[in-house]
Structure 1
Amino acid sequence: MSKNKKTKDVDFASKAVPADSRKGLVTMFMIMLGFTFFSASMWVGQQLAEGLDFWGFVKSLILGGVILGAYTGLLGYVGAKTGLSLDLLSRRAFGEKGSYLPSAMISFTQIGWFGVGLAMFAIPVSKELLGGSDAAMWGLVILAGVCMTASAYFGIDSLTIVSYIAVPLVAVLGTVAMVMAVQQGDGTIIDQFAKSSGSLTIVGGAGLVVGSFVSGGTATPNFARFAKNGKVGAITTVVAFFIGNSLMFFFGAVSSIFVGGNDIFEVMIRLNLFYLAVLVLGLNIWTTNDNALYTAGLGLANIFHQKKKPMVLISGIIGTVASVWLYYNFCDWLNILNCTLPPVGIILVMDYFMNRKEYEKENPALKTVNWFSVAGVVLGTIVANVLNWGVASINGMAVAAVCYMIGQLMPGTRGVVNEH
């Protein structure tokens, strides 16, 4: 009995989450809200503040939030309803070996963002606290890398603890700093916002909002699968994404207005709140980074047929070693790669709603590769990166949906190739 307890897969990397391991609304809300506290979203907040007036900024947040909420909400519902991770859903929608494509894409991007997040913490803190030496920077990179890898290693329970600690502190302290900064400026927040020069439209701003976290949002099933039912999974996801993302955008916007930067850390430093600034920055990055590494571990476990924990360790080591290089050289590439994941998400959603009975089976027969799903991701990614019209992620999802539908409607394409 004790041996079984020791080897129990508490993160259910290879099967659906059972009913007795599901979590309630409050816990799921904290997990999902921590997931959305993505520091890079503050960069988008800066862009929005520089290109729109206050009301244009708000309208872009609402429009982009509705689109992003609909996308992640559907994924949250599917994840909670089935209890399956993104990778297990991919096995059904893409085929057993076809699932390696989305697993590789999500793992690669999340390891990349994990590394960038480490550098986003270590570089500014080492400059402010330790003179900016390389030794100090790498010391902080390694310390943060170990802590964040550990929380992902120990799984969903560890992620839950981090979220319960970090979410209230980041939300409250960050908001207080934002209000203090606005009060020190000239006039109201409306007066302080940059007047639009016509360089950014509301639709363009909404596109930035959607693009800021649509790739990370594709991993929603990895966490929403722990919700007690589909309703809780969808509601907590939609509300958390809207609140969490909006808060990050406001942090970035106020930072742009107050210090000409894009990080609430800079604002808090200017307000002489140094230690609180380090705390908020560290916790803010931690809540996203451990989720990113957790997702990468699940993806690599699917590809290499290994346990999740060693895959998390490998991902953490790669992300930590490459963090500074990723920060200075790879952000643009990561933004391009972000366009690869929305086509995956829309195919997962469509496959569930079009084949619900198949998802009621615990061990369904799987195709080896669903080539129409694979083609949808490849073509959707190309279109999203090449077409200079509309919202890139939505363009990619539209193309992927069409490819998938063609496969569904063609006779015989749903046939089973690989029986288990």
Structure 2
Amino acid sequence: MAESLNGKTVVENKGTENAFNPVPDSERKSLISLTFVLAGYPIALSNFVIGGAVGVGMTFPKAVMTLLVGNGVLMAIVLATGYMAFKTGLSTSFLSRRAFGKRGSSIFSILLAISSVTWISLNGDIFARLIKSTFSWWTLPVSITAIICIALWTQSAIRGYKGLEIISFLGVPAALVLSLVGVFAVGRATGGFGEVLSYIPAKPISFAAATSSIIGGWVFGATITPDVCRFAKSTRDLVIAGIAAFSIGCLGLQFAGALVAISTGNGDFTVAMAALGLSLVAFFAAIFCLWTTQDNNIYGASLAIQNILEETKLKGKIQHKHIALVIAGLAAVFAALGIYKHILPIIQFLSLLIPPVSGLIIGEEFFVKNSKEKLNVNAIALVSWLIAGVASYISLKADVFVPPIVGIVTSCLVYVILSKLFDKKVKSA
């Protein structure tokens, strides 16, 4: 079936969520839909935790400034990569071809899929433990409970963008309302937030450490937002939706976490709520926070796998829902096996390698402007990626600046410089 994208004809692959082709004009979404689906991803419990850690470690004015700076960086990444997705109609994995080449991008896609699976399994394990601790009558073991949780998240992911849209329209307002109820309840229980402005942290943390937590915690999410941004109808819609979504999902929840942490002296939102007898409010907020995030992870991983299959005989033959089920199944197995105990080093390793890809894509699109999507492998991109990963690792070990940002800036600069020097040789090779 042929459709148009800005006057160009594209061919739709049924059941693959436009994984191989630009999203056609007829399937672009409204501003409201785009905002809700984009907001669903960063509305997560981890943002309460991040905000809480920043809140208890800084004075309130410094915490607010840090939250604004950290989230400003995340929004800049969302808008830069999101603009490319809007313009081309391509997902994150297929955008990476413009820098890595057709087969080179498969390496990134594999890491993207692995990262998504690890996050899904980790959150499945965490939520299963929360259920066990909240309801004494729940008799199923953590392993089976985790599998059930992941199976629920999969229900919206297998339905593609439409599924994400449905759960986001339900989950985003519910998560926000329940979160606000919790924050106001904490305010009442602690006599209001009057002492917030005069708060002095017992164990101060530095601006660099705080911004590292904020940016590092959600740079992966910002990196894969093109998967949703490709459905935008206009640049205006993209900018409004991107800023609104991350202002609500990241900045908003982190701010709430900081307020609760300063008022209760506890940086963990759910623990603070439980101490005040509000476990059920925290639990139901967690349901929606996790669902709207993890179905996005499953969806993004499916698109990454389709990018790998594009260069094989299986292109277009395996539907999105089947890949999503396999991804969710793997995550469920890992969660049931207790991957929670072993997964953190994996996540830390991936957090150093995935963000630099944004720098490569940005460098190619805005500065080099010589797409490598028809090449098999672009060695310049791989070398730049490796150098950026090393720079990120050094930044992490030396505790200097923000490792993900070091990676993004390094990959962009190195890629642009090497491309200007050797691009002609690469293109003719």
Q: Fold conserved (TM > 0.5)?
A: yes
**Deviation of the 1:257 alpha carbon:** 4.4
Match of 2:421, as an amino acid?
M
Q: 2:98 aligns with which of 79, 92, 101?
A: 92
Q: 2:21 aligns with which of 10, 15, 22?
A: 15
Aligned residue in 2 for 1:330: 343
Aligned residue in 1 for 2:179: 174
Q: 2:388 aligns with which of 377, 380, 401?
A: 380
- Write the distance in 2 (CA, Å) between the matches of 1:102 and 1:180: 44
Aligned residue in 2 for 1:81: 87
Please state if 1:32 is matched with 2:38: yes
Aligned residue in 1 for 2:324: 312
Q: Percent of aligned pairs with the same residue?
A: 25
Match of 2:354, as an amino acid?
L
Please state if 1:350 is matched with 2:363: yes
- Write the distance in 1 (CA, Å) between the matches of 2:33 and 2:389: 34
- Write the distance in 2 (CA, Å) between the matches of 1:189 and 1:75: 40
Question: Secondary structure of 2:132's match?
Answer: helix
Contact 1:79 1:230 in 2 (8 A): no
Deviation larger for 101-110 or 38-47:
38-47
- Write the distance in 2 (CA, Å) between the matches of 1:309 and 1:166: 21
Please state if 1:368 is matched with 2:352: no
Contact 2:143 2:335 in 1 (8 A): no
Q: 1:142 aligns with which of 124, 142, 147?
A: 147
- Write the distance in 2 (CA, Å) between the matches of 1:23 and 1:297: 20
Match of 1:217, as an amino acid?
A
**Deviation of the 1:346 alpha carbon:** 1.4
- Write the distance in 2 (CA, Å) between the matches of 1:319 and 1:60: 34
- Write the distance in 2 (CA, Å) between the matches of 1:50 and 1:248: 15
Question: Secondary structure of 1:227's match?
Answer: coil
Superposition pairs of residues 241-260 of structure 1, within 5 angstroms: 241-257=246-262
Q: 2:223 aligns with which of 218, 225, 242?
A: 218
Aligned residue in 1 for 2:409: 398
Contact 1:155 1:294 in 2 (8 A): yes
Q: 1:208 aligns with which of 213, 218, 227?
A: 213
User: Residues 309 and 276 of structure 1: is their aligned pair in 2 closer, same or farther, counting only changes over 3 Å?
Assistant: same
Q: TM-score, normalised by structure 2?
A: 0.87
Match of 1:330, as an amino acid?
I
Question: Secondary structure of 1:16's match?
Answer: coil
Aligned residue in 2 for 1:52: 58
Question: Secondary structure of 2:178's match?
Answer: helix
**Deviation of the 1:234 alpha carbon:** 3.0
Question: Secondary structure of 1:26's match?
Answer: helix
Question: Secondary structure of 1:176's match?
Answer: helix
Contact 2:66 2:210 in 1 (8 A): yes
- Write the distance in 1 (CA, Å) between the matches of 2:386 and 2:34: 33
- Write the distance in 2 (CA, Å) between the matches of 1:342 and 1:400: 9
**Count of aligned residue pairs for this structure pair:** 408
**Deviation of the 1:123 alpha carbon:** 0.5
Match of 1:168, as an amino acid?
P
Q: CA deviation digits over 1:210-245, x for unaligned, max 9? A: 111001211010110011123322331122112211
Question: Secondary structure of 1:390's match?
Answer: coil
- Write the distance in 2 (CA, Å) between the matches of 1:293 and 1:145: 10
- Write the distance in 2 (CA, Å) between the matches of 1:366 and 1:244: 37
Aligned residue in 2 for 1:283: 288
Q: CA deviation digits over 1:279-322, x for unaligned, max 9? A: 21111001110001111111122223453332211111111111
Q: TM-score, normalised by structure 1?
A: 0.89
- Output the aligned Cα RMSD: 2.6
- Write the distance in 2 (CA, Å) between the matches of 1:413 and 1:74: 28
Deviation larger for 374-383 or 262-271:
262-271
Match of 1:61, as an amino acid?
L
Superposition pairs of residues 163-202 of structure 1, within 5 angstroms: 163-186=168-191, 188=193, 190-191=195-196, 195-197=200-202, 199-202=204-207
- Write the distance in 2 (CA, Å) between the matches of 1:415 and 1:203: 40
Q: 1:240 aligns with which of 219, 240, 245?
A: 245
Contact 1:130 1:136 in 2 (8 A): no
Q: CA deviation digits over 1:156-184, x for unaligned, max 9? A: 10000000000001111101211210221
User: Residues 218 and 190 of structure 1: is their aligned pair in 2 closer, same or farther, counting only changes over 3 Å?
Assistant: farther
- Write the distance in 2 (CA, Å) between the matches of 1:189 and 1:337: 41
Q: CA deviation digits over 1:344-396, x for unaligned, max 9? A: 011112212236686xxxxx861111111112222211211222211111111
Q: CA deviation digits over 1:173-204, x for unaligned, max 9? A: 10121121022115525438852356412343
Please state if 1:116 is matched with 2:122: yes
- Write the distance in 2 (CA, Å) between the matches of 1:333 and 1:223: 26
- Write the distance in 2 (CA, Å) between the matches of 1:216 and 1:58: 21
